[in-house]
Structure 1
Amino acid sequence: MSFFKRRPAPTAPSFWHDVPPPEAIYAIGDVHGRRDLLAAMEAVLAQDWTQRSYGDVVLLYLGDLIDRGPHSAHVLDHLTAPAPKGVRRLTLLGNHEEMFLAFVDRPEANLAWLDHGGGETLNSYGIYLTKSDIMRMPRSKVLQHLRASIPRPHLDALRRAPRAVRSGDWRFTHAGLDPTKTDEAQTAADLTWGAAGDVTALSQCAGRLVFGHFAADQVRTIGQTSCIDTGAYATDRLTALRVIPRTSDATTEFFEVYKPDRTSRQ
Structure 2
Amino acid sequence: MRAYAIGDIHGHLDKLVEIHRRIADDRVQTGDHEAPVVHLGDYADRGPDVPGVLDFLGDGLSKGKPWILIRGNHDRMMAAYLRDPSERDPLRDDLFWLQDTIGGRKTLEGYGVDVALDRDVDAIHADAIAAVSDRHLKLLDGLQNSFAVEGVFFCHAGIRPGVPLDDQSEDDLVWIRHDFLRDTRDHGALIVHGHTPVPQIEHAGNHLNIDTGAAYGGPLTCVVIEDGAVFELTLHGRVPVAADF
TM range (shorter): 0.7 to 0.9
Distance 2:22 2:157 in 1: 25
Distance 2:82 2:64 in 1: 34
Match of 1:180, as an amino acid?
Answer: G
Distance 1:102 1:134 in 2: 19
Runs of 4+ in 1 over 6 A off after TM superposition: none
Aligned length: 230
Distance 1:174 1:168 in 2: 18
Q: Is the 8 A contact 2:198 2:212 kept in 1?
A: yes
Root mean square deviation, CA, Å: 2.3
The Cα of 1:183 is off from its aligned counterpart by 1.5
Partner in structure 1 of residue 78 of structure 2 = 100
In the superposition, relative to structure 1, how do residues 217 and 205 fare at CA in structure 2: closer, same or farther (>3 Å)? farther
Partner in structure 2 of residue 37 of structure 1 = 15
Partner in structure 2 of residue 121 of structure 1 = 107
In the superposition, relative to structure 1, how do residues 73 and 63 fare at CA in structure 2: closer, same or farther (>3 Å)? same
Please tell me whether residue 237 in structure 1 is matched to residue 211 in structure 2: no
Q: Is the 8 A contact 1:174 1:192 kept in 2?
A: yes
**Greater alpha carbon shift after TM alignment, 187-196 vs 97-106:** 187-196
Distance 2:36 2:173 in 1: 20
1:214 to 196, 203, 206: 196
SS at match of 1:217: coil
Match of 1:133, as an amino acid?
Answer: R
Q: Is the 8 A contact 1:37 1:236 kept in 2?
A: no
Equivalent runs, 1:29-108 vs 2, <5 Å: 29-82=7-60, 87-108=65-86
The Cα of 1:240 is off from its aligned counterpart by 1.1
Match of 1:37, as an amino acid?
Answer: K
Q: Where do 5+ consecutive residues of structure 2 fail to align?
A: 89-94, 240-245
SS at match of 1:25: strand
The Cα of 1:132 is off from its aligned counterpart by 4.5
SS at match of 1:230: coil
Q: Is the 8 A contact 2:114 2:124 kept in 1?
A: no
Distance 2:111 2:179 in 1: 33
Give the TM-score normalised by the residue count of structure 1: 0.78
Partner in structure 1 of residue 91 of structure 2 = none
Give the TM-score normalised by the residue count of structure 2: 0.84
Any idea what the Cα deviations from partners look like across 1:162-200, whole Å, max 9, x if unmatched? 11111222110000101211123322221110155452x
Larger radius of gyration: 1
Please tell me whether residue 226 in structure 1 is matched to residue 204 in structure 2: no
Percent identical residues: 29
Q: Where do 5+ consecutive residues of structure 1 fail to align?
A: 1-22, 257-261
Partner in structure 2 of residue 20 of structure 1 = none
Match of 1:90, as an amino acid?
Answer: I
Distance 1:163 1:94 in 2: 8
Partner in structure 2 of residue 5 of structure 1 = none
SS at match of 1:57: coil
Equivalent runs, 1:135-150 vs 2, <5 Å: 135=121, 139=122, 142-150=124-132
Q: Is the 8 A contact 2:5 2:38 kept in 1?
A: yes
SS at match of 2:148: strand
Distance 1:112 1:130 in 2: 16
Distance 2:160 2:170 in 1: 11
The Cα of 1:31 is off from its aligned counterpart by 0.6
